[in-house]
Amino acid sequence: MSPNAAAKETFFAPEAPGTGKLYNFIEAHAQKNGAKPKPQFFLSGTGEGDQVELPYEIYEVLVKAVDAMRKGQAVTLTPRSMTLTTQQAAELLGVTRPTLVRLLDTGKIPYEKPGTHRRVKLEDVLDFKEVRKAEQYAALDSLGEIEDENPASVVEDMKEAKKEAARRRQRAPK
């Protein structure tokens, strides 16, 4: 059995919803501070001083897991080193499998081909997803910039466009 297959686990919601009290605490804590708190949460044992502070990333995972379990959903933890089929990778990116194959063939996402089928590392798919999101935001930001246009001329053009629209409405048959 490969180490990737052994490391993936799915946790189902407990029969008795014991997560409500924990969820209520987290929500009340966030509301009291007006925003997400700077975490200083601890995992503690039974002995005095038997505790360790949870890093923020683990706290976020815990909050999401508790919320999902409260709703009766299963929670799956997957290592970033896990390999995916091309169909799984395509679904994760929200694209078709042929589109993903084109991304693989052009080298935008690395892959392995141990036999006849391509395998993609989850980490590489998530990295590509982050890069693509950053590129999309940059493209949207560039659309909002008017660097080479004079604001006064833009306002004048808008006024002319409004006048033309009004003339067309007056000429339109009723």
DSSP state letters, 109-163: S--B-SSSS-BEEHHHHHHHHHHHHHHHHHHHHHHT--SSS-HHHHHHHHHHHHH
Question: pTM higher than 0.85 for the full model?
Answer: no
Domain containing residue 105? 82-174
Q: Is the pLDDT of residue 51 over 70?
A: yes
How many domains is the chain partitioned into structurally?
2
Whether 152 and 105 map to the same domain: the answer is yes
Whether 44 and 119 map to the same domain: the answer is no
Whether 67 and 86 map to the same domain: the answer is no
Whether 39 and 100 map to the same domain: the answer is no
Whether 88 and 163 map to the same domain: the answer is yes
Whether 25 and 38 map to the same domain: the answer is yes
Whether 72 and 86 map to the same domain: the answer is no
- Rounded Cα–Cα distance for residues 56 and 79 (Å): 18
Residue 95 and residue 61 in contact, taking contact as beta carbons nearer than 8 Å: no
State both tokens at 93: 């990116």
| Tokens 């391509």 belong to residue | 118
Lowest mean pLDDT among 16-20, 40-44, 85-89, 111-115: 16-20
By C-alpha distance, which of 78, 84, 94, 93 is closest to 121? Answer: 84
Q: Residue 11: which pLDDT band, with cuts at 50, 70 and 90?
A: low
Whether 73 and 18 map to the same domain: the answer is yes
Task: Tell which wins on pLDDT, 107 or 23.
Answer: 107
Per-residue pLDDT tens over the stretch 71-92: 888 888 777 778 999 999 999 9
Whether 88 and 173 map to the same domain: the answer is yes
Whether 56 and 114 map to the same domain: the answer is no
- The C-alpha torsion from 58 through 63 and 64 to 70, rounded to 10°, is 140
Whether 73 and 87 map to the same domain: the answer is no
Lowest mean pLDDT among 57-71, 74-88, 139-153: 139-153
Whether 72 and 135 map to the same domain: the answer is no
By C-alpha distance, which of 136, 54, 133, 125 is closest to 92? Answer: 125
Per-residue pLDDT tens over the stretch 82-124: 899 999 999 999 999 999 999 999 999 999 988 889 999 999 9
Residue 146 and residue 109 in contact, taking contact as beta carbons nearer than 8 Å: no
- Rounded Cα–Cα distance for residues 28 and 26 (Å): 6
